[in-house]
């Protein structure tokens, strides 16, 4: 199941991803459908996002279960055309279950960033259910009037349905991308704006929630195995990761807030006189461990300082230093969001950041200051 869920990160699994077990009797096929669809029809909790689409899909499956229950009790031999339809619908139900599981298991930000795409997955299933009902030979199934009425109503509903993109979800998605654009323009949003977006609207209540979102987004970049849809998509996801890291740093400081369920924020403490506050780890190049001057993103989703990743590649290395993935001939995409965040951090800490050279000075000053503090126990 987990592997199948990863297959729909960028597109839904095709029908060929599943097959109906061969050699089943009519009753066994119906019982199998009842078992698979029954898990969905139970309903229960809904995912935080795609709630309307999920609720609608579950309602379709519940109506379909009325037909299955009736046919199981009737114990009639099914027409061959109906058997073929039910075998195809078995695949549709499997895909529906995987899509619902995916919405439950994905992070909030991933679902928001792919709001329209995932809504399209639900619409694809609506079309497939509509096709199934159009070709299902209802006249040959000897249905009672009430059962037929339910199925006819379902047929009309799916036949006239349109893609549903939740307005509130879309509003939050646009807001997150707006924050990313603001960072790209070197305009840092107010702390209240970050709190309103990430804590109040998305529900990322503590530093751990922020870290979980970041980890999930990074895994999705890693799991595409180099098959990025477009450089813009990679840059967008990497940029959002940078914004989330900055927001976590701004809202909760540099230390993890463990067990906190409050909406209150914890700002970083001001550095002592003569001390340069340690930058967030994601502002530092994983190779040099210094504040990045020209951050760039690899196809693996990892960000490095251009100078040091170029030296790494020029030295004959063909893998990402962090992930170990093969790089081939990598395209280095400027990470403008991280660059803006580093510039803002430098400004907030009194470190000039008008050029890459100044960023290098900041990194050297931070490293020297850190070493001095470590060498003098009295400063701890």
Residues 234 and 308 in one domain: no
Residues 317 and 367 in one domain: yes
22 vs 4, residue with greater confidence = 22
Residues 101 and 239 in one domain: no
Q: How far apart are CA 130 and CA 124, in angstroms?
A: 10
Residues 198 and 154 in one domain: no
φ/ψ (deg, to 5) at 319: -125, 160
Q: What is the CATH number of the domain that holds 341?
A: 3.30.40.10
Residues 172 and 157 in one domain: no
Lowest mean pLDDT segment, chosen from 6-15, 134-143, 161-170, 248-257? 6-15
Label residue 224 by pLDDT band (50, 70, 90): low
Looking at 230, 252, 274, the residue that finishes a domain is 252
Residues 343 and 298 in one domain: yes
Per mean pLDDT, which of 12-26, 145-159, 173-187, 338-352 is the most reliable?
145-159
Residues 159 and 181 in one domain: no
Say what percent of the chain tops pLDDT 90: 30
pLDDT at 10 over 90: no
**pLDDT given at position 212:** 92
- Nearest Cα to 40, choosing from 100, 102, 106? 100
How distant, in Å, are the alpha carbons of 216, 250, 288, 375 from that of 362?
A: 31, 19, 14, 20
**Quick check: is 297 in a domain?**
yes
Within 8 A by CB and 6+ apart from 60, the residues are: 126, 129, 154, 157, 158
Tell me the mean pLDDT in the region 95-114.
90
Residues 126 and 196 in one domain: no
What size, in residues, is the chain?
Answer: 380
Parent domain of 363: 284-379
| Chain mean position to CA 174 | 15
**What is the token pair recorded at 113?**
């960033």
pLDDT at 226 over 80: no
pLDDT at 378 over 70: no
pLDDT tens by residue, 231-255: 557 778 888 888 898 888 888 876 5
Residues 248 and 108 in one domain: no
75 secondary structure, DSSP code: T
Mapped onto helix, strand or coil, the DSSP state of residue 186 is coil
Give the global pTM.
0.72
**Quick check: is 269 in a domain?**
no
Return the residue matching tokens 């195809």.
88
Looking at 252, 274, 304, the residue that finishes a domain is 252
pLDDT at 7 over 50: no
**Quick check: is 289 in a domain?**
yes
Return the residue matching tokens 């993935």.
325
- 246 CB neighbour count, 10 Å cutoff: 25
Total count of domains within the chain:
3
- Whether the CB-CB separation of 282 and 211 falls below 8 Å is answered with no
**pLDDT given at position 308:** 93
86 vs 269, residue with greater confidence = 86
Residues 305 and 190 in one domain: no
Looking at 163, 182, 203, the residue that finishes a domain is 163
**pLDDT given at position 129:** 92
Residues 123 and 41 in one domain: yes
């Amino acid at each position: 199941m987990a592997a199948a869920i990863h297959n729909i990160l960028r597109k839904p699994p095709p029908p060929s991803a599943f097959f109906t077990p061969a050699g089943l009797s009519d009753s066994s096929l119906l019982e199998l459908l009842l078992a698979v669809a029954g898990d969905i029809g139970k309903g229960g909790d809904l995912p935080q996002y795609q709630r309307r689409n999920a609720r609608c899909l579950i309602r379709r499956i519940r109506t379909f279960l009325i037909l299955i229950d009736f046919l199981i009790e009737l114990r009639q031999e099914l027409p061959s055309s109906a058997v073929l339809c039910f075998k195809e619908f078995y695949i549709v139900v499997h895909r529906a279950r995987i899509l619902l599981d995916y919405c439950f298991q994905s992070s909030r930000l991933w679902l928001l960033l792919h709001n329209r795409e995932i809504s399209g997955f639900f619409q694809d299933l609506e079309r497939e259910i509509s096709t199934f009902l159009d070709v299902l030979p209802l006249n040959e199934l000897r249905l009672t009037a009430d059962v037929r009425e339910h199925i006819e109503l379902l047929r009309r509903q799916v036949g006239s349905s349109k893609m549903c993109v939740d307005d509130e979800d879309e509003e939050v998605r646009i807001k997150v991308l707006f924050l990313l654009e603001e960072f790209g323009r070197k305009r840092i949003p107010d702390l209240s704006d970050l709190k309103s977006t990430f804590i109040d609207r998305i529900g990322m209540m503590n530093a751990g929630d922020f870290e979980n979102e970041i980890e999930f987004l990074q895994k999705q970049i890693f799991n595409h195995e180099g098959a990025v849809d477009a450089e813009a998509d990679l840059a967008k996801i990497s940029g959002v990761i940078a914004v989330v890291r900055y927001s976590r740093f701004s809202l909760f400081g540099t230390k993890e807030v463990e067990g906190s369920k409050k909406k209150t924020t914890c700002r970083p403490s001001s550095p002592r006189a003569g001390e340069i506050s340690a930058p967030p780890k994601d502002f530092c190049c994983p190779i040099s461990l210094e504040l990045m001057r020209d951050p760039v993103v690899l196809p693996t989703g990892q960000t490095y300082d251009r100078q040091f990743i170029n030296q790494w590649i020029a030295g004959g290395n063909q893998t990402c230093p962090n992930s170990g993935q093969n790089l081939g001939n990598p395209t280095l995409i400027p990470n403008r969001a991280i660059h803006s965040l580093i510039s803002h951090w430098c400004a907030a800490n009194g470190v000039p950041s008008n050029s890459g050279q100044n960023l290098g000075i900041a990194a050297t000053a931070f490293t020297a200051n850190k070493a001095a503090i470590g060498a003098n126990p009295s400063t701890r």
